[in-house]
Amino acid sequence: MAEMWIEVFQEVSKLLHVNRERLDRLDAAIGDGEHGSTMVKGIEQTLQDLEECQPETPAAVLAQAGASFAQAAGGAAGALYASFFLAMANIVRKDEHGAFSTAILASMLGSGIGIIKKRGKAEVGDKTMIDTLVPALEAVKKGEKQNLPLSEVIPRTLAAAKAGMLSTIPMEPKRGRAGYLGERAVGHQDPGATSAYLILKALHDVYMRRS
């Protein structure tokens, strides 16, 4: 399973590089215009560190991603994504040999969202990455209740994440630098919600390709 997560971060890198300028433009409208550049720094450091340390478990891969983002990404986004990956690492560490499942994904997302909420003080509707991640988690939990295979749950999760990302466009921000803009930020898609979607898209694309 470590190989799958390494592949996920390689896919994240591709998506972030392609969308770097777009993320910076989105951030320029409501922030400092560096979100894409910040995320690329984090993922480049992650891939470099993964190549050097050759982690052998999913938890080790995710923990290294957290450490790499904390070191290289900087700013609020870097700290939040570092915490997100580390929280997910703690979940999979409890059962290193278990199969990747809907239940595990629900626990991973739930733990990651919990730490982001704690550190960022954000809730759904505040125009942040939470607006992407919470609908994704809800879709996973719904699939778990319906006993759906992960191959059906992950596409539904990505669709929910996309809807959540798009829902930030008409929102007035309440957190971070964007919060100072108030109504002036209405009409702009949140960059953090967008990068969160790209990370979930990478997981979707890798899992569906491998399954």
The superfamily (CATH) of domain 2-210 is DhaL domain (1.25.40.340)
pLDDT digits (tens, 9 = 90+) for 72-84: 987 889 999 999 9
What integer pLDDT is reported at residue 115 of this predicted model? 97
- Please give the backbone phi and psi of residue 65, each rounded to the nearest 5 degrees, phi first: -60, -40
What integer pLDDT is reported at residue 14 of this predicted model? 98
What integer pLDDT is reported at residue 173 of this predicted model? 74
Tokens standing for 21?
């300028």
What integer pLDDT is reported at residue 152 of this predicted model? 97
What integer pLDDT is reported at residue 179 of this predicted model? 53
Q: What's the chain's length in residues?
A: 211
What integer pLDDT is reported at residue 75 of this predicted model? 83
Among residues 88, 96, 67, the alpha carbon closest in space to that of 1 is found at: 96
Report the chain (211 residues): mean pLDDT per 10 consecutive residues.
Answer: 95 98 92 92 98 95 97 90 97 83 96 95 94 98 96 98 97 64 72 97 97 88
What integer pLDDT is reported at residue 96 of this predicted model? 72
One-letter identity of residue 82: A
Structural domain boundaries in the chain = 2-210
What integer pLDDT is reported at residue 99 of this predicted model? 82
